[in-house]
């Protein structure tokens, strides 16, 4: 699981711990590494590259609002990053958009809501509905 942030916060520490508890190998990017790059553009693209290359199946990217990280990650071909603020949106992103990167706001996401979003994210799978698959494939 690729995990990048432009700063290290109690939320990023909780995300890292939660992912490990769920059995994921976490590959960290940006400010989550000692001396790591703290530019959200670089962090999100690096995490996106890890997902697009197949080195990581999924990714999580964070910045203050989550918006910049989602935009930067989406610049990587093959990444479908979704900025989510609740479990229903995270589930919809996986089901209807086959999102492979979850973008979160460091400012607006509580640890409890983050756990709910991860439950929804990992508990959902992309639709096999041909209409939606065709729309997702258009993005490739």
Which residues constitute the domain of residue 90?
2-138
pLDDT value of position 140 = 67
pLDDT value of position 132 = 76
Residue of 56, 62, 63, 84 marked active site:
63
Question: What domain count does the chain have?
Answer: 1
Does the reported pTM lie above 0.85?
Answer: yes
Sign (positive or negative) of CA dihedral 36, 27, 127, 132: positive
The CATH code of the domain that includes 39 is 3.40.1400.10
- What SS3 class is residue 19? helix
pLDDT value of position 127 = 84
**How confident is the prediction along the chain (140 residues), in pLDDT tens digits per residue?**
999 999 999 999 999 999 999 999 999 999 999 999 899 999 999 999 999 999 999 999 999 999 999 999 999 999 999 999 999 999 999 999 999 999 999 999 999 999 999 999 999 999 888 887 787 777 76
Calculate Rg over the CA atoms of the chain.
14
63 has catalytic annotation: yes
Q: Find tokens 């916060």 and name the residue.
A: 9
């Amino acid at each position: 699981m690729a995990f990048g942030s432009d700063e290290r916060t109690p939320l990023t520490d909780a995300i890292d711990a939660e992912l490990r508890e769920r059995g994921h190998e976490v590959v960290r990017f940006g400010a989550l590494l000692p001396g790591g790059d703290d530019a959200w553009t670089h962090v999100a693209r690096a995490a996106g590259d890890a997902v697009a290359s197949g080195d990581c199946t999924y990714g999580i990217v964070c910045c203050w609002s989550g918006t910049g990280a989602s935009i930067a990650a989406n610049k990587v071909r093959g990444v479908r990053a979704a900025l989510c603020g609740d479990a229903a949106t995270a589930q919809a992103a996986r089901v209807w958009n086959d999102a492979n990167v979850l973008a979160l706001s460091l400012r607006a996401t509580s640890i409890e809501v983050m756990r709910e979003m991860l439950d929804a994210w990992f508990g959902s799978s992309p639709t096999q509905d041909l209409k939606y698959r065709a729309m997702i494939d258009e993005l490739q």
